[in-house]
Structure 1
Amino acid sequence: MTLTTDARSTTLAEFSELPRETFAERSMELPDELIRGTSDLHIHSGPWLKSCPGRLDPFRIAEQAKAAGMKSLVFYDHTLGVSTGTAQLTKYQVPGIEVFGGIILTSVLGGMNPRAVKTALHYGAGARFVHFGAHCTHHMVIHEGSFVDGKLVRFVDQYPKFAKDELPRAIRIPLEGPVSDDLGEILELIAERPEVHLNTGHVSVDEAFRLVDLAVEFGIRKIVVAHPCRARMTVAQQKALVEKGALLEGAVSDWMFHRGLRRTNYYVEPELADEIAGIASTPELSGGVVPWAKQIREIGLEHFVLGTDYGIRSGPTPLEGQRTLISTLLDLEFTPEEIHLLVKTNAERLLDIE
C-alpha cells in the first residue's frame, strides 16, 4: 500500500495553506498547529501489569489528544493482547476523536490462535490490526535477558524452565515450506477484511520477509513492518519490502527511549524483567534520530507510517511524544507538507479515515 508519485504530489498540494517557517525564524507555536488532524498509530494505552504501570489511563490519553486537535489514535496491549475493548470504551467516554484497537498475538492468548483473531475482529470496536507478537515471539524469547556480573545473559540461558516453557509457546513464522492451518486461517481472516492491516510484529528479519510474502500471497491489502523489526534492517532490505507493497513503521521510541531500563514488558516474574528492551540491537539506527530520518528520506516518505510507541510511566505522554516528533522533523528541515504526509495522510489511508 503506497502512494504513487502523482498521488503524493496531489497530497502535498492539498497542504499549501499550512503555516511555514524559515531556518532563521522558527516558531514555538508551529508544532502545536501541525499536530491538529494528525494520528498516533502506536500507543500503549493500558491496562498494564502492576509492575509496569502506564503514564496515563486511556481516557486521559484521548482527552489530551482531542484537546490538541488530533484526529485518531491506535491503542496497543502487548500483555493480554486485545485493545479493541479499551478502544470502544474510550470512544464512548471521549467522543470527537477516532480510537482504534487490534489484537497482538501473545502466548497469553494461545499464540498462533485463529479463534482469538476471529473473536477480536468482533469484540469491542473490532480489531483494525492483527500483530504477530511482541515480547513473546521466538525472536524476542531468545534475545531478551538481563545483566549478570556486567555481562548480558539471555533468559533462555539463565533459566532452563523459562526456555522449556516459553520456547514452545513462542510465535514463530516458518521461513519456508507450507504454513500451519492456524497461520493460514489467520491470514485468511485478515484478507477477508480490507480495513484490517497486518503488522509483522517483533519477529526476525527473515520471518518478516516470509510473512510479507505470505500476506501478498493471501491477498492482504495492508501490510506494516513493525518498527523493532524494521530497525534491524538495512536500507536495501527495507526497500525490498516496500517493493512488495509493505509500509514501514517508524516510532519515536526508535530514537528516544530508555535503553537498558529494567522492565517487566510481558512476564510477571521479577527475574524476567528485561534489560535490553528487546529493540536495543539496532545497528542501522545507533546514531539516533538523524539516521532514522535519513532512512525515511532515502526510502520515501510515502512508505512510512509513524507513531510514538509511548505510554509507559517513565516516558512522556503520547501527546508530548507526538509534539516531539513533529518538532524534531521541523528541526531536521522537513516541510509542513512532508510532516503532514507522515503523521496525517499516510495514517488516514491506513485506517480508512480520509
Structure 2
Amino acid sequence: MYVAVKGGERAIDNAHAWLAEERRGDPSVDELSVAQICEQLSLAVNRVMAEGSLYDPDLAALAIKQARGDMIEAIFLIRAYRTTLPRFGYSSPVETANMACDRRISATFKDAPGGQVLGPTFDYTHRLLDFALAAEGDTPEAAEGIARHEPTPHITEFLNQEGLIQTEEDTDKTPGDLTREPLELPANRALRLQSLSRGDEGFVLGMAYSTQRGYARNHAFVGELRIGKVDVEMEIPELGFSIDIGEIELTECETVNQFTGSKTEPPQFTRGYGLVFGQSERKSISMALVDRALRWKELGEDNLGAPAQDEEFVLYHSDNIQATGFLEHIKLPHYVDFQSELELIRKLRREAMGEMKEAAE
C-alpha cells in the first residue's frame, strides 16, 4: 500500500510538471503576460470575474493564464481564492443611474432620452477574420467623439411615468448571500438574480434562447442595455457616513415584456433584469430573459412547464463549478464500484443464459 501511494504521488507530480510545460508552450515564443491578458482579452477576464464572484481583473487574468485559457477552470481558481479572503463589510447598493456609460442602447425608442451610445461593440462588425490583426505591433486609430461621463437616467423610468410598467418592490430587507450560504428553494428574486449572475454563460444563454423559441411565452424588448463604470461606496460606522472605495465596470440590462394581466396584476409591461461584472452583454440579456421567465408565479401567470420556468432546474444546473465537479469526479478511481457492477452483470448474464437454455430444451 505504501509503495502504491508513493507511486501515485510521483505520477501526480509528473502530471503537474507536464501541465506546466504545456502551459508555457514553445519557449521560443514570448511568454504571455498577465497584463497582456488583462488588457487584450478583457471579455474573457470579465467572464471569469462575473462567474467567479470576485472583481479583480489582474487575478482573473492570472487565473486564465494558469488554466491555459480554460474559462471554467479559471473561474474555479478565482472562487477558491475568494474563500480565503477576509470580509470587512458590505458595500452600499450601487446607483446604476449614475453610471458613466461607455455604451447605452435601447431597442424600444429610436430617440431614447439621454441618447443612444453605440460604444465598443461587435454588433456592426463583419464576421470575417481580420488577418491584419496577425501583424503584431499595429496600433488602432483612436475613436472619434467624447466618452460620456454624465449620469444617465434609466429609460424604463420614462415608461413608468405613464404607469405602463410594473413598479418594482422597494424593500430594505438585506438579501441573502450565495457566496456564504447554500441555495435553498424556493428562492426569492434577489437570490435568483445572484445565482444567474454567477451562472454559466452558455447555460443561461441556452435557457434564454428557449424562452424566445416559445418555451415560456416570453417576447421581450431590450428596454435598455448599458455598460459603464459606477462608484462603490461603503458605510464606515466610526465616521457616520459612506466613503468611495473604488469603481467597477458593470453591464446592466432591463427587458420590457408585454403582460396581458392576471388575476392579481393589471395589463402592463413587466421587466426582466440582468447585471454582471465587466462588459458582458450576452450574459446580461440572457439573465434578464430568464429572470422574467422565473417570475411567472409572482405575476400570477400560468406555468407552461417550460424549462426556463422551473426554478430548481435552472438554478441548480446553472453553476458551472458545481456541474464540473460532479461531472469530472467520474474520472477518479471507481475500481471497487465497477467491480461490483461487473460481478452483477456476469451473474445476470449467467442466469439469463440458463433461462434461455432451458427454454430451448
TM-score range, shorter chain: under 0.3
Higher radius of gyration, 1 or 2: 2
TM-score normalised per structure 1: 0.24
